Structure 1
Amino acid sequence: MTRPIPTSVKQFMAKVEALCGDQHPDWALNFKTSFANTLETTLKTYEDGTSFLLTGDIPAMWLRDSTAQMKPYLFLAKEDEEIRKIIAGLVKRQFRYICIDPYANAFNEEANRKGHQTDRTQMNPWIWERKYEIDSLCYPIQLAYLLYRETGSTDQFNDDFHRGVELILDLWTVEQDHAQSPYLFERDTWRKEDTLTHAGKGSPVAPTGMTWSGFRPSDDACQYGYLIPSNMFAVVVLSYLEDLYNNLFHNEPVATRAKQLKEAIQSGIADHALVQNSKGETIYAYEVDGLGQFSIMDDANIPSLLAAPYLGFCAKDDPIYLATRRTILSQENPYYYQGNAAAGIGSSHTPENYIWHIALALQGLTALDQDSKKEMLDLLVATDAGTHLMHEGFDVNDPYQYTREWFSWANMMFCELLLDYLGFSIAP
């Protein structure tokens, strides 16, 4: 499945290649390969105006990944109607899926019963996987809003969008008190990260104002139910909804619901997420349970604590963020690994000593200076195992040992960092 690339994309790729110049031909080559790869190999468009994006080597569409895969094309969407329609079509399909089941994280192209159909949860033929992750609902709102803000497009705001927003607000409100939730998830597996404890309910939590998540953006189970980076992302996208429903749709009841939920989650983060690192500095925990337990760590997948300013929750120079950043980019984070070839953040989802290209790109995107961004770009191309594409995780001592040969999200994160370095950035 290889699609032709729109002329505007070819022209933009040539522009980026020229900006890389003779100094960085490796950056240009990786950009050319990665930026084309998503459109050529993962995208399908339909006569109903919707778009479907494979995550890569898994034949399903993740609500999270598909947004990240499309986000760098927003630079072209204002001038290029075809790209604009592709992105609007993706938003339409995302919200169609959310209307089918807002607890699901990944969907099939058709109602074909593919995926994890034996999981003990409320599966249906459309669902590839039903791991509930807050960010699966944040990302489609983000893409819908940024498309509107950057291009003026309103085509994505159909009936499914409005119904989906109501479902999201309902779900996040229910999950402020997880004891009242209908959601259960169990999988017969040797991997404890792939199932929820306590008969599918997850570890006990107390209400905090934040909203509960069963799984992390790595698709691994939360240790404690309030995942701070995802609650941060929820605060940001709820502010997007507040703006849309006040100023575009003129629907005060929905705007008020979004505002109240945003403020409750913000208060929950302020009251429960701040802890002390080993040096006694105030930092954000990764997860808390409202009962006094918390984890100091970060995971490569986004939303992460490292991503807080990238997502729009805080400024890059926020003191608590900077203290958190220093902590998670150190041995205090159990998923921070250093080796002969690289150092960075990995995940419970991949082997020990494997770090992720996504996290390296994000480290660059959240850096305060151009030199740090350049350092990450050089590291990314130096660890691509000669493929000119990004991967999932790779061994810090041997980048030729890696997971996922075809991982579109990582490719587009490299593109986003390079574009940011060259002055093309989309504010959150």
Structure 2
Amino acid sequence: MHTIRLSMESRKSIFRIETLSEEINPEWAIVFRNCFKDPLVDYLENKEKNRACQLLQGSSTKWLQRSAMQASLYLPLASNDEMIREMIAHVLKQHFEFVNTSYSSAIPYGNEKSNVELYRLSYPLQLAYLFYLRTEDISQFSLLFTSASSRILALWEKELMGSGKKVILEKEFLIEVIQYLEEIFRNITRHAALEEQALTLKKRLVRHAEFASQEEHALFRKGLLVETYREKEKILNLLLGKIKETQYRDTVIDLLFCQLLLNYFKV
């Protein structure tokens, strides 16, 4: 870490979480290093050497979701760390370029999109809004963002409302992200037509049923709501158990664990 140009505040936060995790449960510290510390160090080291970082490279909605969730872990440090702000801004740019290329109006959308693919598209939008809340930076709400948001709203309108889908994965999360878009279009970018489109879609989504949340997501949300450290520790250990299961591969359980760990330490 001494070779990485992070702010003193970031270094202190990372050291504190790693040290306290080690004291409470050494396995917590292992996940924290693998999921939070090591990807950040790898990114910054690769940046110093002008090499590509895996965090920024991808060509699927699975990458879109995972990299957005990975970047969101660093949001608590962003307000006091220029390097982290630059990283998150760059991740967002990569996301919106991917959306605009993959869902271009010039390219037919093709086969009906799965609930999972549609759900994953919400993550860069959520990251952009949370980045704004943490830093008050609005530079990510560029024409690139507007174009990507418009394409995602149009795709949700077409695939969720027009395809006959009656049940939607993580409906409440989608509605929350659409509410973020409403606020952005109303107060920041001043796109009245897109604000109205988001409002209309939200009203229509409310009437749909929702798939039961995946167990790890339900545990994570429960962990955010519980009031005592003991209750939160119990849920962290349940997520840890899932991480150690073989079927955990290709999921985002480690990222959910790490996000809850930050919440546990009030970062």
TM-score range, shorter chain: 0.7 to 0.9
2:126 is the alignment partner of 1:155: no
Is contact 2:73–2:258 with CA below 8 Å preserved after alignment?
yes
Count of residue pairs the alignment pairs up: 254
Distance apart, 1:365 and its partner CA: 3.1
- Aligned equivalents of 1:7 and 1:408: distance in 2? 29
Question: Which of 139, 144, 167 pairs up with 1:226?
Answer: 167
Distance 1:77 1:122, change over 3 A: same
2:198 is the alignment partner of 1:258: yes
Q: What one-letter code is carried by the residue in structure 1 that aligns with 2:70?
A: Q
Distance apart, 1:173 and its partner CA: 2.0
Distance apart, 1:153 and its partner CA: 1.6
Distance apart, 1:371 and its partner CA: 2.0
Which of the pair is proportionally richer in strand?
1
Which residue of 1 is the match for residue 127 of structure 2? 143
| Other structure's SS at 2:141 match | coil
Distance 1:177 1:17, change over 3 A: closer
- Aligned equivalents of 1:71 and 1:151: distance in 2? 13
Deviations 1:382-409 (A, max 9, x none): x48xxxxx45xx1xxxxxx5553xx684
Is contact 2:226–2:232 with CA below 8 Å preserved after alignment?
yes
Higher RCO by CA contacts (8 Å cutoff, separation 6 or greater) = 2
- Aligned equivalents of 2:59 and 2:151: distance in 1? 26
Q: Within 5 A, what are the aligned runs for 1:182-261?
A: 205=164, 212=165, 226-229=167-170, 231-261=171-201
Percent of matched pairs sharing the same residue: 29
Which residue of 2 is the match for residue 365 of structure 1? 224
Is contact 1:45–1:52 with CA below 8 Å preserved after alignment?
no
2:78 is the alignment partner of 1:53: no
- Aligned equivalents of 2:202 and 2:110: distance in 1? 28
- Aligned equivalents of 1:59 and 1:264: distance in 2? 30
| Other structure's SS at 2:73 match | helix
Which residue of 1 is the match for residue 16 of structure 2? 15
Is contact 2:56–2:91 with CA below 8 Å preserved after alignment?
no
Distance apart, 1:83 and its partner CA: 0.5
Which residue of 1 is the match for residue 159 of structure 2? 175
Is contact 2:32–2:258 with CA below 8 Å preserved after alignment?
yes
Q: Within 5 A, what are the aligned runs for 1:114-153?
A: 133-153=117-137
Which residue of 2 is the match for residue 417 of structure 1? 260
Distance apart, 1:131 and its partner CA: 5.5
- Aligned equivalents of 1:29 and 1:173: distance in 2? 42
Deviations 1:132-189 (A, max 9, x none): 622222111100000011111222222211111111222222234435xxxxxxxxxx
Which residue of 1 is the match for residue 66 of structure 2? 65
Distance apart, 1:264 and its partner CA: 2.0
Distance 1:258 1:149, change over 3 A: same
Q: What one-letter code is carried by the residue in structure 2 that aligns with 1:76?
A: L
| Other structure's SS at 1:259 match | helix
Unaligned runs of 5+ in 1: 104-120, 124-129, 180-204, 206-211, 213-224, 274-284, 287-296, 307-359, 385-389, 395-400
Q: Within 5 A, what are the aligned runs for 1:295-334?
A: 297-300=212-215, 302=217, 306=218
| Other structure's SS at 2:121 match | helix
- Aligned equivalents of 1:160 and 1:33: distance in 2? 32
Question: Which of 228, 236, 247 pairs up with 1:377?
Answer: 236
- Aligned equivalents of 2:31 and 2:155: distance in 1? 40
Distance 1:177 1:37, change over 3 A: same
Distance 1:165 1:52, change over 3 A: farther
Which residue of 1 is the match for residue 79 of structure 2? 78
Distance 1:89 1:256, change over 3 A: same
Bigger Cα Rg: 1
Distance apart, 1:235 and its partner CA: 1.1
Distance apart, 1:99 and its partner CA: 0.5
